[in-house]
Structure 1
Amino acid sequence: MTTTPVRTRPAPSRPRRIGLDRVREIVGTPDPVMRQKVLDRLDDHCRLFLAHSPFCVVASADLTGATDCSPRGDHPGFVRVLDDRTLLIPDRPGNQLADTFTNITENPGVGLLFLVPGYAETLRVNGRAYPTDDPALLPMLESRGRPAKLATVVEVEQAYLHCAKAVIRSGLWDDEPRALAGLLPSGGTIAAAHFGIAGLTAALLDDDLADDYRRNL
């Protein structure tokens, strides 16, 4: 399959940097009522959302400010609510880089974004996190007959529903945008280009990825 390269207009210089005062001048200030939606714990609506969410993104950073944003996904409700202020995220087999674990051992601050397919609003949760291998908790995170070996504990500091505008604008849950996937090369093609190792072909990597997905989900 051939793809058309994305063309961008070259910028004459680095984009101009502005300060927060200028940002506020453009976007305005939030209505005080909007701040009331930010909870310091998980209420029943948050719990219901989490019980139906099969996907979240975890943002973290190390002490230098180097950031990472990592997807997590499994059956709906795979992120467990231990109590109103505590979440438990299972760790599944991956690339073994352990970027999130590395970050949160240095800097515990995390931001989570939860999605429910077909639902336009998203749930945002911010807090502090740490890794655990607690044998009393890991069995409850079993998936496909496999217990989790590690998990991330998130101590909730903020939780709130985010409006649907971004999802509506993107058409994320519409049928038409899904056809965009057909315009991209295979995962193996992209990985082969990124690795840049002689003999490591797209076909070989596509086969390896398919086998890994079959065995290690």
Structure 2
Amino acid sequence: MSLPIYPAGSPDASGTPDAISAHVNLDQLYDPPSETIVKGVMPHLLSFHVAYLDVATFFCLATGGAQGLDASPRGGEPGFVKVLDEKTVGFADWPGNNRIASLRNLNEDDRIGMLFLFPGLEVFMRINGHARIAVDPVLLAQFKEGERTPKTVIVVSIDEVLFHCGKAINRAKLWRTESHLDRKAVPSIGDMKAALTGMDKARVSEIDAGYYRAVRGDLY
């Protein structure tokens, strides 16, 4: 089923101009943040930020460039995002799908956003700042995993760090076992690859098995 696409500024199905092109007075719609929330936005790391980074295993990375915006997942052992000083953190870039969209964006636009999720906890942490791609061997060695050394490390200069309430986690029931999806409820990686390439559907199980071997075993 195809979905209708309305050009910016054109009426939607109800005849109302789309919200993207129309100016919305957000201050009339939303209450201002509390004083505690405002004071919680810091220009540098405090001890409790470091404590959370020491246990962090996952974050989503946001970047932008001439080709558009990108958001990608990043994960590792607790503390894989390292504190370099109170204004700076860094993380290794490990193999993924080789689109390297985030790195290409950072070569054009150094702005970066990081959204940390903490399994089992009902809070997010966010870091916004500017980043550079480092290839210095001494720095790369600090981010080794076993015998593997990353090709690059992203060094982030912090503009602001803050905690974000976990209402979205509870709306999604994210950490609840009953929220886990049955893999058979959606097309598998093999199903999607067959649809995209026209390959023989008899190979779906083989592709699925290969995917899970790689995604679980070839981490670095």
> TM-score band (shorter)?
0.7 to 0.9
1:20–1:211: structure 2 CA closer, same or farther, 3 Å change rule?
same
- Which range is displaced more, 94-103 or 206-215? 206-215
Cα deviation per residue 1:178-202 (whole Å; 9 max; x = unaligned)?
1455522322223433xx2132653
Match for residue 133 of structure 1? 135
Between the aligned residues of both structures, percent identity stands at 29
Please report the RMSD computed on the Cα atoms of aligned residues, expressed in angstroms.
2.6
Higher RCO (CA-CA < 8 Å; seq separation 6+): 1
Count of paired positions: 208
Match for residue 47 of structure 1? 50
Maintained 8 Å contact 1:91/1:152 = yes
Cα deviation per residue 1:104-125 (whole Å; 9 max; x = unaligned)?
1111111100111111101000
Query: Within 1, Cα distance between the matches of 2:27 and 2:193?
Result: 41
Match for residue 31 of structure 1? 34
Query: Within 2, Cα distance between the matches of 1:200 and 1:75?
Result: 38
Match for residue 197 of structure 1? 197
Q: CA deviation at 1:163?
A: 0.8
TM-score (norm 2): 0.84
Match for residue 99 of structure 1? 101
**Aligned partner (choices 185, 188, 202) of residue 186 of structure 1:** 188
Runs of 5+ in structure 1 lacking a partner?
A: none
Query: Within 2, Cα distance between the matches of 1:198 and 1:144?
Result: 39
Query: Within 2, Cα distance between the matches of 1:200 and 1:103?
Result: 36
Query: Within 2, Cα distance between the matches of 1:67 and 1:59?
Result: 7
Query: Within 2, Cα distance between the matches of 1:189 and 1:42?
Result: 45
